[in-house]
Chains A and B, each alone.
Chain A
Amino acid sequence: MKRTLRPSFWPAAVFFVLAAAFGPLFDSFWLSLLTLVFFYAFMGLSWNLMMSAGLLSLGHALFLGLGAYAAAVLTASTGISPWLSIPAGAVIAALAGSAIAWIGGRFSVRGVQFAVLTIAFSELTRVLFDNWDLVGGTGGFFLKAINPDTNRPLVTLRGGPLYFYFAFLVITAAAYFVIQLLMTSRWGFRWRGINEDEDAARALGVPALRSKVLVVAISAGLAGLGGGLFGLMQGSLFPDSVMRLQLSIEILIAPIIGGIGSPFGSIVGAFFVVPLMEFSNTLSQRIGYYGLNTLIYGVVILGIIAFLPDGIWPRILRYMNLIRAA
Chain B
Amino acid sequence: MSQKFKAHVLPNAAPVSNGNSAAMETSIRQLLANGNSKAALESAKQFHKTEHSLASEVLLLEAYKARIQTLLDQNLASEAKALIQLVQERFPARKEQLTDIGAVASARSGELSDLVQPLNDPELSAERRAAIEQILQTQLADLQALADCQALPAEHSLRQAAAALERAFQAVTSGPVSDEQIALPEVSHRSPLASWKWLIRAIAALYRGEDAACRESLTFIKAESVPARLGPAMQAILGAVTDIAALKPHERTLVSTVSLNLLDLRGALQQLDEAFIRDEDERIFKAVRNAVRECQRSAPDRLPLLKQIIDVRGGESGLDGARLIASMEGAPRRDAAYFRMYARQLETAGGDPEDLAEACEMWEAFRKAAISEGLFTGHSVELAVLYLHMAGNLAQMPAKMLREFQRDGNLNTWATDRSQGDDRYYLHPEKLYARACLIDRDSEAFSQWLNWAKGQTITEAENVAKQWHKARPGDIEPLLHLMKQAEKRNAFPSALAYLEKAERIDAVDSVVRAARWRLLTAAALRHLQQKKPHLALQKLTEMAALPQSQQGNRPGFLAAFRVLICSSLADKDAANEASREAERLLGGLTAILLIFTIATTAKRDELAAVPPPKALKDKDREAIPAAFASVLTIAKDAGIKKIGLASEYFDETQKQLPRAAGKLDLEQLRALGEIGGWAGYPKIAWAASTEGLKRPNAPEAFFLMVRARALKAEFEDRKIVLAAAAVELARFQGDAEALNKAVEFLREFSGDDTPTLTLTLEQARAVVVKESAYPDLPGFFTPVPDYSDLFPADALCQCANCRRKRGESASGPFEDIPDSFDFAEGDEDANEDQDLFPDFGFDESEMRKMFKQGLPKGTPPEMANKLFEIMKQSILTGESPEKLLAELLGPPDRGAKKQKKKLWGKK
Do A and B truly interact? no
Binding site for A on B (CB under 8 A): none
